[in-house]
Amino acid sequence: MATHDAPTSSGPYSDAHARSLTDREGFWLDAARAIDWTVAPTRALDDTDAPLYRWFPDGVLNTAHNCLDRHVEAGRGDAPALVHDSAMTGEVTRFTYAQLRDEVAALAGALAARGVGKGDRVLVYLPMIPQAPIAMLACARLGAVHSVVFGGFAPRELAARIDDATPDVVLTCTGGIEPKRRVEYLPAVAEALETASHPVRTVLVHAREGFETALADVSARGGAAWEDWDAAVADAEPAACVDVAATDPLYVLYTSGTTGKPKGVVRDNGGHAVALRWTMENIYDVGPGQAMCTASDVGWVVGHSYIVYGPLLAGATTVMYEGKPVGTPDAGAFWRLVEDHGVRSFFTAPTALRAIRKADPEGELLRAHDLSSLKHFFAAGERLDPETQRWIEGLLEMPVIDHWWQTETGWAIAANPVGLQELPVKIGSASVPSPGFDLVVLDGLGEEVPAGTEGNIAVRLPLPPGTLPTLWGADQRYVDSYLSAFPGHYATGDSGVVDEDGYVFVLGRTDDVINVSGHRLSTGVLEAALAAHPAVAECAVIGVADQLKGQRPSGYVVLTSGVEVPEPGSDAETELLDALRQAVRREVGPVADFRDVTVVDALPKTRSGKILRKTMRQMADGEDYTVPSTIEDASVLEQLQPLLRPGR
């Protein structure tokens, strides 16, 4: 169970972290030996164009070879590589390393026959089906650059990514399956092609049963040649792996930009392979023959790193889940996956845990499954609130490891490196800085603050391998967005604290720090106080404009399953809301001046589980806002609108 002890000042972790900063060349060249190279690197870091850094500048490799062919050639072709478990169709599909290699080589051949080669871009618009990792790896096999867009994104957003990445080919399917609906993909792709300025040559369509729009219905739209995926693959010659430079791009993954123009995070081949292979062994404690399940989506960075590339680089088995944490069919879905597939390390988002807690607060569904294979349980995506962490630890009877990273970094900035040295867990902390990350907390002037003082979390340059070297076609935008706020540092955009033991506490985005009568308060701290109340399943606090105080905190809570929602204006409601106000006052103090709290049915979230606090704040302040394309359910925002009205 979790403790509050400090890690030792010496040991495998502290030695590795110290060496990664004082001997970057030696540390990362040693790590690079776990990768197959056509030309092994003799240098780790290229700083000739600082603050733009590149890793392994003289190395040559192929990422798909490292994920698949090397394991087959080592005699592990019959070992399980990918398990696709679909709660939506009730089917489980398994691929050995040899089978997955053959599927990837065949699709790569079909792409090559359509003119795709090294450096060309391919846009992937697919749900959580095996064709998604096959598509990504087929691009990597050819040295082509894939850009995965979450299946179901709106045509306008898809068109913006087409114009930025300028792909030659789009890989898609007839649709995605949600618990209560089917999402037709082909009309969205056709509209995006017609909206985009960049012409796409070819669209390959994988047919799934049960969708209204067929290939023939869209084949005349958008100026592209629309073709059947399976037919194209059947006619293709399998493609061999193409050598690429370590510094060549592997993929572009888009994250929202403040100007409305999406930012294309670039991931290179060499640094990415070395870093992810290192993390599988040292952070996740997963190796050949062991299973990892990451309950995310290939449209997000977590899916790229730990559904597709990380486990396969390590020769492990990756369990790919098409379903939800609750409702497909119930809140025991994750525990079934662990039992059915012998999962050793499980990774999900805190929002999924809160949904499970709301539906099954006593853990009855968890106890119905054999979880003896499970050794480690990880959470990331947004802050794991202490109450949820204590709840899930109590049920699993093991430490639950919160760790923190970003689309831009590709792997954990801070984590408990259980494969290297399992450190004590501190509730509410993302553990310690990962080797390679020289993490500091800075004040607004860029000066380092004492331990225990909240400030801006930053990382001294250079960032380690596997992180973004730049933005797609936009070096200056990369510098302006991430490297200018604190020269010599990468600004994470997150606020937090590093305590006297070196543990990192991420409290929220810097724009989630509110100013109440001159006092800076983190909404994460206020949310933690609310979440500690036993009636609260999850919550959000935003800063609402106030003429007198500047801002005032306003809280929105979803109640735990089984707790009756009180009637508005009733004594029961008054009693509950007073208890919540007192909880914040008790934990944070009267300085918070916390009075506004409202019970809601649900909170608006992105598909990856992040609560849309910025959009809520814009609505509350009467500012112009757009409904984000990443939203899971737009109707939740509509239902909240009366509760977020200006001046409420």
Residue 647 has pLDDT above 50, yes or no: no
Q: Looking at residue 258, what is its pLDDT? A: 46
State the Cα–Cα distance between residues 412 and 492, nearest whole angstrom: 12
Q: What is the pLDDT of residue 1?
A: 33
Do 412 and 405 touch, CB atoms closer than 8 A?
yes
When pLDDT is averaged across residues 619-645 and rounded to a whole number, the result is: 82
Q: Are strands 249-255 and 263-268 parallel, antiparallel or unpaired?
A: antiparallel
> SS3 of 497, please?
strand
Q: What does the angle CA 522 – CA 527 – CA 533 come to, to the nearest 5 degrees?
A: 150
* pLDDT of 5: 43
Residue 615 DSSP SS3: helix
Domains of the chain plus CATH, in order, are: 60-323 (3.40.50.12780), 517-644 (3.30.300.30)
Closest CA to 247 of 526, 60, 122: 60
Between 81-90, 465-474, 559-568, the lowest mean confidence (pLDDT) is in 559-568
* Spacing of C-alpha 228 from chain mean position: 31
Residue 15, C-beta contacts closer than 8 angstroms, at least 6 positions apart? none
pLDDT band at 70 (very low <50, low <70, confident <90, very high): very high
Mean pLDDT check: name the lowest of 43-47, 134-138, 159-163, 606-610. 606-610
Tell me what percent of the residues of the chain surpass a pLDDT of 90. 76
Q: What is the mean pLDDT of the chain?
A: 92
Distance CA(205)–CA(216), nearest Å, equals 11
Residue 219 has pLDDT above 70, yes or no: yes
pTM (predicted TM-score): 0.85
Token pair recorded at residue 391: 């709840």
User: Please, are residues 477 and 263 in contact by the beta-carbon 8 Å criterion?
Assistant: yes
> Which pLDDT belongs to residue 625?
83
SS3 of 143, please? coil
Which value, in Å, is the radius of gyration of the alpha carbons in the chain?
Answer: 24
List helix spans (H) across 283-375. 301-303, 310-313, 333-341, 350-359, 364-367
Q: Can you give the pLDDT at residue 562?
A: 85
- Reported as a pLDDT band with limits 50, 70 and 90, residue 61 is very high
Do 42 and 28 form a contact (C-beta atoms < 8 A)? Answer: no
pLDDT of residue 638: 85
Q: What does the buried/exposed string (b/e) look like for 298-323 if buried means 16 or more CB atoms within 10 Å of the residue's CB?
A: bbbbbbbbbbbbbbbbbbbbbbbbbb
Task: Supply 192's token pair.
Answer: 């995006």
Question: In which band, very low, low, confident or very high, does the pLDDT at 189 lie, cut at 50, 70 and 90?
Answer: very high
Helix (H, G, I), strand (E, B) or coil at 80: strand
**Cβ atoms < 10 Å from Cβ of 123:** 27
Pairing of strands 455-460, 438-442: antiparallel
Give residue 54's Cα distance to chain centre: 23
Q: Is the per-residue pLDDT at 214 higher than 70?
A: yes
Tokens 């690429």 label which residue? 244
Taking residue 453's Cβ as centre, other Cβ atoms within 10 Å add up to: 12
Question: Is the pLDDT assigned to residue 590 strictly greater than 90?
Answer: no
Confidence check: pLDDT of 550 > 80: no
* pLDDT for the residue numbered 288: 98
pLDDT value at 325 more than 60: yes
